[in-house]
Amino acid sequence: MWAREAAMRKSIPALRQAGYESISDLPRIQQSYREKALMVIPPEIRICATSNGEQKIQVLIPVVQGLSQKQRQLMQQYFEVVA
């Protein structure tokens, strides 16, 4: 988990340089509430104990100059857990 967070912090300047100022600017996939969840978060790491853990939005890390494939992969894994 910490390696993923470190990759994210290291990658922020490259994303900002490419015009992505916040997580809201990143591309995403969104499911309607009637569709199957993109991911189910394990109970141990859910923010709210009453949540069913379903994620309906997946943030995507785009290909940008200065961001390696490994950094993108680590950031994608990080956002799958926290976003």
pLDDT digits (tens, 9 = 90+) for 20-73: 998 889 888 776 667 766 666 666 666 666 666 666 677 889 999 999 999 999
Helix axes 2-17 and 69-82, enclosed angle (nearest 10): 110
Residue 39: beta bridge partners? 55
**Mean pLDDT in residue range 11-22:** 93
Q: Which two tokens stand for residue 76?
A: 């994608």
Instruction: Name the residue range of residue 74's domain.
Output: 2-82
Could you tell me which residue, 65 or 3, shows the higher pLDDT?
A: 65
Residues 6+ apart with CB under 8 A from 35: 56
Q: Which of 80, 77, 78, 75 is nearest to 15 (CA)?
A: 75
Taking phi over 0 as left and psi of -120 to 50 as alpha, with beta for the rest, 66 belongs to left
> Is the pLDDT at 7 greater than 80, yes or no?
yes
**Mean pLDDT in residue range 2-19:** 89
What's the domain count of the chain? Answer: 1
pTM of this prediction?
0.66
